Amino acid sequence: MASKELDIAFLDAVARINAHKEPFPADFLLRLYAYYKKATNDYSRPSSRKEIINAFKTNALFQIQKITQDEAKQTYIDLVNNYFLYRK
């Protein structure tokens, strides 16, 4: 997928997630969080009020540290598409 197409597909996937009203499973949210942060080059610290949540978020980011920004975008898109296709 070309870079511009990838960016458009990524923004579409983000919009689908933001428009969804039902709660997501916690493990799915952690994966989305990590790939979104990597895809957008946002390296700010997790900002939850609960330390345990920050620890999980940091761990999720650590696990994907060696992938590229484009790989993170594609994986985010795939996660979203699979979630809405299979609801898992």
| Whether the predicted pLDDT of 8 surpasses 80 | yes
Q: Could you tell me the domains of the chain?
A: 3-18+26-86 (1.20.80.10)
Q: Which of 80, 55, 76 is nearest to 67 (CA)?
A: 76
Q: Tell me, rounded to whole angstroms, the distance of Cα 47 from its chain centroid.
A: 16
The pLDDT mean for the chain works out to 92
Portion of the chain with pLDDT greater than 70, in percent: 99
Whole-structure pTM value: 0.89
Looking at residue 2, what is its pLDDT? Answer: 81
What is the distance in angstroms between the CA of the first residue and the CA of the last residue of the chain? 25
Q: How far is CA 20 from CA 25, 70, 74, 82, in A?
A: 13, 24, 20, 14
pLDDT in tens, 10-44: 999 999 999 999 999 999 999 999 999 999 998 78
Q: What burial class does residue 60 get, using C-beta atoms within 10 Å of its C-beta: 0-12 exposed, 13-18 middle, 19+ buried?
A: buried
